Amino acid sequence: MKRTTARLADGREIIYFDHDDAPPREPHDPRELDEVSTASQVRHDPVLDEWVILASHRQNRTYQPPADECPLCPSRGGRHTEIPSPDYDVVVFENRFPSLSMQASGGATPDLPPLVDHAPAIGRCEVVCFTSDHEAAFATLKPEHARLVVDAWADRTAELSALPGVVQVFPFENRGAAIGVTLAHPHGQIYAYPFVTPRTRQMLGNAAAYARRCGRNLFADVLAGERASGTRVVAATAMWTAFVPAAARWPVEVHVYPHRQVPDIAALSGEERDDFVHLYLNVLGRLDALYDQPLPFVAAWHQAPHGPGREHAYLHLQITSIQRSADKLKYLAGSEAAMGAFITDVLPEDVARRLRDLGR
C-alpha cells in the first residue's frame, strides 16, 4: 500500500491510500476556501448522563448535489473537488463541516443551567472515499480494493486513537437516501470522539458485569452461542461469522464478528482482513438481493475505547437497515424514539433464513 499525505487549501489533511502500482497523486489544492468552523461544542445531559455534540455550522453543508457536481469525485476537466488529484484508489480527508475538531473553540454557551457542563468538541471527523467511481458501491468493489479500505480504516484507527483528547474511534458508513445520506458517492466516515459513546458505555458495562459473574467475555459467548445454534447465521468463513442477533431491533440487522477477540481494526492480522473482505462482500450481496434493490443501511464498527473497560471489548461490525419490505420503511415512533423500547415486525430467524437462502 502507498500512503501519501497532503493539505487542502484550508489546511485540512488529505491522505491517499493507493495500490503499489498507482501513479503519484496531486498534492496541490488550487481552490480558495473559507476557514473551517471551530465553534463545535459538547454539552452534558445530566438526566441521561450523556454528552451531546452541537455543530450548528453543519446546517449549510452540501446536500445531495447532482453527479456532475459531486465533491467526492476526482478533480477533472477544470472542476476542482475535495480531492485535488484526477484519480485515486481510496482517499481520506478531514470533513469540511466537522462535528468534532482538534481546533474546536466551543462557541457561545448562553445561560446554561448549573447542572449542564460544556466543553469544546475536541476530536476529528474524516471522510473515507471508497473509490473514485461515483456509480460504485462497497458491495461492487473487487476484493483487493476492499482490502485497501480495511487497511485505511486500520491506519486511521491507530492514528486517531493517538490524538490528545480522543477516547473512541468510530468508522461507519451511511448508505442510501432513506438513511439521510447527503452525498451519493460511495463513502464512509470516521468520528474520533472525546468521550465514550452511550452505546459503547452500556455494552462495556454489561460485559464487565458478565465477566465478574461468569469469568468469560460476553461478546465471545454471544458469538459462540450463535455459531453453535446456526439458526441465525447468515454466512461464515474460517475467521469470521455473520449472524442476525436473536433480539434484533431493526427489520434487517446483521452482526459480523471475528472469531478472535481483538479490540479494533488495527489489531486484525493480514489474514483476518482478507477473510473479512471475503465475508463482507458476500453479506452485502445478500443484503442487496433481499429486495432486489440497493438496501439502505448503517454499517457501524464497534471498537474498544481507550481507558476503563477496554479489556472487555470485542471488535464487531453492526449492519442495520430501516427497510422492512420492498416498499416500506421502519420509522422510529413513540416506543422507540421516546422510550428506547424497540418493536420489530419480523422474526430474526426469518430474516436470517431469507438471507442465507439468497446465497444458494
Which residues are catalytically annotated? 187
One-letter amino acid of 201: R
Task: Kindly state the cell numbers that stand for 77.
Answer: 476537466
Q: H or E segment at 317? A: strand 316-321
Task: Kindly state the cell numbers that stand for 317.
Answer: 461490525
Task: Kindly state the cell numbers that stand for 327.
Answer: 416498499
User: Which residue in this structure is represented by grid cell 466537522?
Assistant: 98
Q: Is 298 helix (H, G, I), strand (E, B) or coil?
A: strand
* DSSP character at residue 104: -
Task: Kindly state the cell numbers that stand for 62.
Answer: 452540501
Q: Is 112 exposed, middle or buried (0-12, 13-18, 19+ CB in 10 A)?
A: exposed
Residue from 347, 138, 348 nearest 233 by CA: 348
Q: Is 188 helix (H, G, I), strand (E, B) or coil?
A: strand
- The half-sphere exposure of 356 on its side-chain side, counting CA atoms within 13 A, is 17
Largest CA distance in the chain: 63
Alpha helices in 143-269 (DSSP H): 143-161, 198-214, 218-229
**Rounded CA separation 187/200 (Å):** 24
**Rounded CA separation 133/91 (Å):** 12
Exposure string for 73-109, b = 16+ CB within 10 A, e = fewer: bbbeeeeebbbbbeebbbbbbbbbbbbbbbebebbee
Q: Is 118 helix (H, G, I), strand (E, B) or coil?
A: strand
